[in-house]
Amino acid sequence: MKISNAYINNFSTISCAGNSNEELFSSICQKKNKISLDTNYVKDSVVAIGKIDSKTLFDDLVFQVCDNILEESNLKDFSNTLLVIGSSVGGMIKTEQIFFQDKTYENINYKEHPIDAVAYKLKQKYTFYDDISFSTACTSSANALGYAKEVIEKGIYKNVLVIGLDSLSYTTVCGFHALSVLSSKPCTPFERNREGMNVSEAIAALLVQNEKSSNESIEICGVGYSSDAHHMTQPQPEGLGANKAMSLAIENANIKKEDISYINAHGTGTYANDFSELNAISSLFSDCMPYVSSTKSITGHTLGAAGALEAAICCMAINKQIIPPSKDIKDLENEIIKISNEVINKDIKYVLSNSFAFGGNNVSLVFGCAK
């Protein structure tokens, strides 16, 4: 039984595309190149990565986005708020730093390594009612948002703080390099001649509540989950799992697929992921194609943070009535798809955001204007 709706009332983001919400959306709309070339992470290789432009420590940036939420919300503190973390690396960066410095694992604090290390750190500064952490690779914070929607709607919590975050780590960058999916230049999702993906870092915090707080509140209308379990690292080529997740999200939102104005695609820039997603979108929306773009062409792939970061982008797209563009697509692989290469001003009511991960774990979210 649905007791209440779930509304995103405030959000705060930091990424390579900007240290604020407005800077992030402006970078996307202006198609600014925020990806840098790096030779430090992979030996004898140049890889393009998305690094946050700040001298502040990553942990302190996490505190900063939480402080921003408190300052702009109707909360005095987080004592009656559930903390939901979505991350694929957790405290791995801290572990790497200690190991590279000491050449041993002996000085590593075991509480600062796992996925819930983020929650552990936050609880040193803030008081939360409870916390839970999700680690499902690139769908981590999308799953966290879906969970927030469910517990809000069931009346279990009134306030949920969802934080999606991942910092750049050698383990992650070198891991993707081993899979031969990294690009040596800014990624170009859905471009026929794309080279690969850009690993990036980001933090995105969203306050989800059972009542809307302003005219800019955005409702989490629907969530769809699927698992195609086709391959450990590659999606089902025809996009069957992605199609299922999108269909379920639209059904859960109690709308029609024709109501979707814009799809924020997973769009990583790798051949396997893009090919699968393009097939899924073209088959599901063959008779009512909405505009599609991948904002990862500006932000890079922020891994566990992607679902939350792109949820914030979707919120701004709805509030500004702007469809954000993709960047540098000259030869679209699938001509059925309606790619937005430039900023498009449009009446937007509902948007769909896709997050797909290793193991065929798929999450789609529908966002809409708060009623």
pLDDT at 371 exceeding the cut of 80: no
Domain residue ranges in the chain? 7-369
Catalytic residue, chosen from 16, 66, 266, 315, is 266
User: pLDDT digit string (tens) for 231-258?
Assistant: 888 889 899 999 999 999 999 999 999 9
Tens of pLDDT, residue by residue over 306-335, are 999 999 999 999 999 999 999 989 899 998
Query: Measured between alpha carbons, how far is 88 from 165 in angstroms, rounded to an integer?
Result: 8
pLDDT of residue 2: 77
pLDDT value of residue 110? 84
**HEC per residue, 254-315:** CCCHHHEEEEECCCCCCHHHHHHHHHHHHHHCCCCCCEEECCHHHHCECHHHHHHHHHHHHH
Query: What does DSSP assign to residue 282?
Result: H
Q: Could you count the other beta carbons within 10 Å of the beta carbon of residue 128?
A: 18
Which residue's structure tokens are 């773009």?
293
Please choose, from the candidates 129, 127, 108, 131, the residue with its C-alpha nearest in 3D space to the C-alpha of residue 118.
131
From the list 16, 113, 221, 301, the catalytic residue is 301
CA–CA dist 324, 344 (Å, integer): 7
3 state DSSP class of 204: strand
Give the pLDDT score at 157. 97
Of residues 126 and 228, the one with the higher pLDDT is 126
Q: How many CB atoms lie within 10 A of CB 124?
A: 8
| Mean pLDDT score, 129-142 | 97
Q: How far apart are CA 39 and CA 48, in angstroms?
A: 9
CA–CA separation, 61 and 67 (whole Å): 10
Q: pLDDT tens, 31-71?
A: 999 999 999 999 999 999 999 999 999 999 999 999 999 99
Q: Tell me, rounded to whole angstroms, the distance of Cα 109 from its chain centroid.
A: 28
As a whole number, mean pLDDT of residues 260-264 equals 98
Q: Inform me whether the pLDDT recorded for 259 exceeds 80.
A: yes
Quick one: CATH architecture of 7-369? 3-Layer(aba) Sandwich (3.40)
Per-residue pLDDT, 1: 65
113 noted as active-site residue: no
Q: Is 177 noted as a catalytic residue in this protein?
A: no
Contact between residue 163 and residue 65 where contact means Cβ atoms under 8 Å apart? yes
pLDDT, mean of residues 186-212: 97
Phi (first) and psi of residue 148, to 5 degrees: -60, -45
Examine the residue annotation and report whether 266 is marked as an active-site residue of this protein: yes
* Structure confidence by residue, pLDDT tens digits, 73-120: 989 999 999 999 999 998 888 888 888 898 888 888 888 888 899 999
The two tokens of residue 175 are 């891991």
Computed over every residue of the chain, the mean pLDDT equals 95
Cβ–Cβ under 8 Å, residues 148 and 5: no
Short-list 198, 203, 161, CA closest to 14: 203
Whether residue 25 is predicted with pLDDT greater than 70 in this model: the reply is yes
Which one is catalytic: 138, 221, 314, 315?
Answer: 138
DSSP states along 243-267 = HHHHHHHHHHTT--GGGEEEEE---
pLDDT over 90 percentage in the chain: 85
